[in-house]
Chain A
Amino acid sequence: MAAPVLRRGCRGRLWALACVDGGSCHGRGAPTGSPSNRIRGQSSVAQQPLHTAQKPRKGEHNWAAVVGLEIHAQISSNSKLFSGSQVRFSAPPNSLVSFFDASLPGTLPVLNRRCVEAAVMTGLALNCHINKKSLFDRKHYFYADLPAGYQITQQRLPIAVNGSLTYGVSAGKERGQVIPKTVRVKQIQLEQDSGKSLHDDLRSQTLIDLNRAGVGLLEVVLEPDLSCGEEAATAVRELQLILQTLGTSQANMAEGQLRVDANISVHHPGEPLGVRTEVKNLNSIRFLAKAIDYEIQRQINELENGGEILNETRSFHEKLGCTVSMRDKEAKQDYRFMPEPNLPPLLLYDATSLPIGADPRQVIDIDQIRETLPELPSVTRERLVQQYGMLPEHSFTLLNEVGLLEFFQNVIKETRAEPKKVTSWVLNIFLGYLKQENLAVSESPVTPSALAELLDLLDSRTISSSAAKQVFEELWKREGKTPGQIVSEKQLELMQDRGALEQFCYSVMDVKKGNPRAINKLIGLVRKATLNRADPAVIKEILEKQLSS
């Protein structure tokens, strides 16, 4: 998974015309431990020499970008929002379609309790005010994969409002520092997903798959508090983590469980906001950052050239790395919103308002859901920093990879080694191997127990750290051997026999003599001669003693 570990912050929110730092906003998420200086020229902005031909005019150097996001997260539930059909990715087409999903006349929506609970839970985790009364509306448009001709959503009174999402951007100056930033959450609304249209241009026909039609979505609307692609990407990544931690959405972007639309405009600071465009259907975090930065730069260039920005819908062309106008009529469509008459207002309760003797199956208690909230990623990270003394940046990395935190904690549980040592091994060696082979934590050939045993050997000075790396490499080969077995088979133990080691040193002394700065080379030779089984400190001590004698 190529999810970004941490992104470097934008330099403020000002986009200087002549020096948009594409590189700083577009560093791909490299595994921690790899060099932190990023390769420039990766971003679409840098690839497109849009700003080079411009002559900055006085007083127009600085642009500020304003970015707001609408994020659709598919709710992780067994059945759809208003019907009993199963929710499953990649099932045979039209195999998960109830009469309601197909909009057969006379069918009625029945609200799925699980979806409501997921929305409340997500709202609480995003510090939202949960509306005790929310309403459903119909949003009308004709589209082949929208069989009812309308989508049921919450336009007027959504289930949760006025929240906030805190995310961290790395500061750039001091290593490991992370600056917290906050974006306001305008609202969270429950709504239906549409089906899928598969266009067959060759035979000029469209195939419709309704498996997705009616799946519950959480639409999370973020206020336009973001100022660049990186901030947006980091905020979305944090939201993704929160949803996954809550279990309210699997939030897998590749499977379309998390989809982002971005509203983007640019203006001069202190002046009114510019006309905005909407870039739709961004389906990876990397493309999200790229698309936003491209669009910001495009708008700046357009305006600098005396052009104007149209209020339009655009899509991101992944191969070309640019946004293109969708030129669809849909953007200007009047959705003719209307209250959904078949669903009574959605009423939620808390401990104080819960009706006495209410059937717990018929009511949803916000306080009860609050109690079941798991530890949120921000809290987990803080705990990691406190408990194990790791850098904030490392805590981010541990949470960013699915399963990595659990792996780390399992190693910690089983080893005597210092947490710092464990952190370093898990983030540098283990994660590095995973990345190299593009494996998920769950696919790792090395179990937490094996790594714990290995670190124990290292901790008890049974093996040297370079021998430990060799053992790790052996473990990665999935031959089913324990670290202990590998160590003894390969004779990797540190040599405990000082007499034998002295013999080695003498023999080396025969080869080299005199130069005190040659000692490092000598150490190397000794280590080589001992197949890395000698403790370098001991070798050095012996050599020094010999040299001085």
Chain B
Amino acid sequence: MLGRTLREVSAALKQGQITPTELCQKCLSLIKKTKFLNAYITVSEEVALKQAEESEKRYKNGQPLGDLDGIPIAVKDNFSTSGIETTCASNMLKGYVPPYNATVVQKLLDQGALLMGKTNLDEFAMGSGSTDGVFGPVKNPWSYSKQYREKRKQNPHSKSGDSDWLITGGSSGGSAAAVSAFTCYAALGSDTGGSTRNPAAHCGLVGFKPSYGLVSRHGLIPLVNSMDVPGILTRCVDDAAMVLGVLAGHDPKDSTTVHDPINKPLVLSSLADVSKLCIGIPKEYLVPELSSEIQSLWSRAADLFESEGAKVIEVSLPHTSYSIVCYHVLCTSEVASNMARFDGLQYGHRCDIDVSTEAMYAATRREGFNDVVRGRILSGNFFLLKENYENYFVKAQKVRRLIANDFVNAFNSGVDVLLTPTTLSEAVPYLEFIKEDNRTRSAQDDIFTQPVNMAGLPAVSIPVALSNQGLPIGLQFIGRAFYDQQLLTVAKWFEKQVQFPVIQLQELMDDCSAILENEKLASVSLKQ
């Protein structure tokens, strides 16, 4: 039952094959078994069981609230949840319990979804590995998959044991691990530069970033307001569409959401043929750092479309290479501004120093934020200084416009969707990953995903195949702004063609008790 898609389990609930409480308990038990993955910061067991009980009553009365009624979901720990601690994986917000729900959380709850817990991330979503949070790194469930382990056994160089477990990617790595390890059916991530698509690719999931303005940001603790969007992580495209149907729409509490509603509920048609489609392949995305395996999968995917009658053309997005440095300026500037509110006065961490307000601010912020966050605040404030503003911030805004225009031009030339890799390589072992610092990693890992956020476009990462190492590889589709439905329809067709294998976690389930015993690193407390 846990291995099913959201759509399947929703049908099973309606048919009475399983009750919400049973489903909830199965997930809770799996969450406990997979605790060493460190996917969850807080497990809201009591809340979930209570919600399941209520859901069960509704099913008994034949009045479920919607397709999501009784379905376990998880939420990244940078979305405000009323009465449930929301930490952003930072000392600064340890113990902070918001008094309100983010709009997207509320919408899920209004549909009867069961909130299993809050998932791990990089501190304040700043990172691409889910390794830089105060609660420790997230482990990729594929590290323990049959597919990966068997490949490793074949490799004489690989070490035995658990020391070379893989990162999930990030920053929504906890959400990705939670869905990938079957502890829930869908999870919310956030996506500012690829934070939903990147871990989706590394964990063999569908990771969807909606158009900016389609889904409310109210209650999402911001990284970069002008680029953040709530993201959706699921096991298949239909599931992502179902969740999008629930989340999308204008929110009076978020003035940047658009008024024109999309069709609801969002049901994707099955594309019978792709002959009317034009697929664009951006030539700038073919970079030397791209792994040959991914490059060849990318090219085979293009061939697949072509062979099925679609027009596949090379397009140019000439300003792509400026995106990362431009992002660095805009991101850090907004971060410097957004983080100004964390002063220890009203909520969150406060230091013991009380000689003056300024001294209290300084110590609180030094203790509350990690190096990554402090570094970004420092750079951001530098870029915003009066003497630098024109040379950095304004220039970066202009470059951002050029990048956005690149996409507009590509779509105006007749392209329906763009096809690109999601990541440079498959997931790497943690010990490998931490050889580079956060900034270098973020700059490398975001190159295919980040320009999309500059332009506010919808994009989705679809798992395509396993690498030679037995690890998932994702490809990314990018659509026109607010053509989310069309984008997902194409993605659904593609998903059907590639038949990505299901993760084999039997071994993990059997072994997990042994793993837990050996696992000191993952001994972060499981909050209830």
- Which residue of B79, B86, B88, B225 contacts A341 across the interface (Cβ within 8 Å)? B225
Task: Please tell me if the beta carbons of A149 and B218 are within 8 angstroms of each other in the complex.
Answer: no
B222 within 8 A of A: yes
Task: Please tell me if the beta carbons of A106 and B102 are within 8 angstroms of each other in the complex.
Answer: yes
Rounded to whole angstroms, the CA-CA distance of A147 and B256 in the bound complex is 22
Task: Please tell me if the beta carbons of A111 and B345 are within 8 angstroms of each other in the complex.
Answer: no
B418 within 8 A of A: no
B158 within 8 A of A: no
B336 within 8 A of A: yes
Chain B residues, CB < 8 A from A335: 386
- Which residue of B96, B256, B345, B361 contacts A344 across the interface (Cβ within 8 Å)? B256
Task: Please tell me if the beta carbons of B334 and A108 are within 8 angstroms of each other in the complex.
Answer: no
Residue of B nearest to A145 (CB): B345
Q: Nearest Cβ distance between residue A166 and chain B, in whole angstroms?
A: 35
Rounded to whole angstroms, the CA-CA distance of A361 and B200 in the bound complex is 41
Given contacts A148-B340, A338-B393, A344-B256, A106 and B334 within 8 Å (CB-CB): no
Task: Please tell me if the beta carbons of B340 and A342 are within 8 angstroms of each other in the complex.
Answer: no
Chain B residues, CB < 8 A from A140: 337, 340, 384
Rounded to whole angstroms, the CA-CA distance of A102 and B345 in the bound complex is 10
Q: Nearest Cβ distance between residue A355 and chain B, in whole angstroms?
A: 13
Interface residues of A in 120-144 (CB under 8 A from B): 138, 140, 142, 144
- Mask of B314-351 contacts with A, CB within 8 angstroms, 1/0: 00000000000000000001101101111101110000
A110 within 8 A of B: yes
Rounded to whole angstroms, the CA-CA distance of A334 and B336 in the bound complex is 14
Chain B residues, CB < 8 A from A466: none
Task: Please tell me if the beta carbons of B357 and A106 are within 8 angstroms of each other in the complex.
Answer: no
Q: Nearest Cβ distance between residue B390 and chain A, in whole angstroms?
A: 11
- Mask of B197-218 contacts with A, CB within 8 angstroms, 1/0: 0000000000000000000011
Q: Which residue among A140, A342, A343 has the maximum number of chain B CB atoms within 10 Å of its CB? A: A342
Rounded to whole angstroms, the CA-CA distance of A308 and B256 in the bound complex is 50
Rounded to whole angstroms, the CA-CA distance of A338 and B385 in the bound complex is 10
Q: Nearest Cβ distance between residue B498 and chain A, in whole angstroms?
A: 37
B3 within 8 A of A: no
- Mask of B255-284 contacts with A, CB within 8 angstroms, 1/0: 110010000000000000000000000000
- Which residue of A111, A144, A338 contacts B255 across the interface (Cβ within 8 Å)? A111
B226 within 8 A of A: yes
Chain B residues, CB < 8 A from A334: 385-386
Band of interface residues on B: 35 or more
Chain A residues, CB < 8 A from B252: 110
Residue of A nearest to B124 (CB): A105
Rounded to whole angstroms, the CA-CA distance of A140 and B338 in the bound complex is 10
Task: Please tell me if the beta carbons of A108 and B336 are within 8 angstroms of each other in the complex.
Answer: no
- Which residue of B256, B336, B341 contacts A105 across the interface (Cβ within 8 Å)? B341
B429 within 8 A of A: no
Q: Which residue among B256, B337, B343, B358 has the maximum number of chain A CB atoms within 10 Å of its CB? A: B337
Rounded to whole angstroms, the CA-CA distance of A208 and B384 in the bound complex is 28
A107 within 8 A of B: yes
Residue of A nearest to B389 (CB): A337
What is the interface of chain B, defined by CB distance below 8 A to chain A? 79-80, 86, 88, 93, 96, 98-100, 102, 217-222, 224-226, 252-256, 259, 333-334, 336-337, 339-343, 345-347, 357-358, 361, 381, 384-386, 389, 393
What is the interface of chain A, defined by CB distance below 8 A to chain B? 99, 102-111, 138, 140, 142, 144, 147-150, 206, 208, 334-338, 341-344, 362
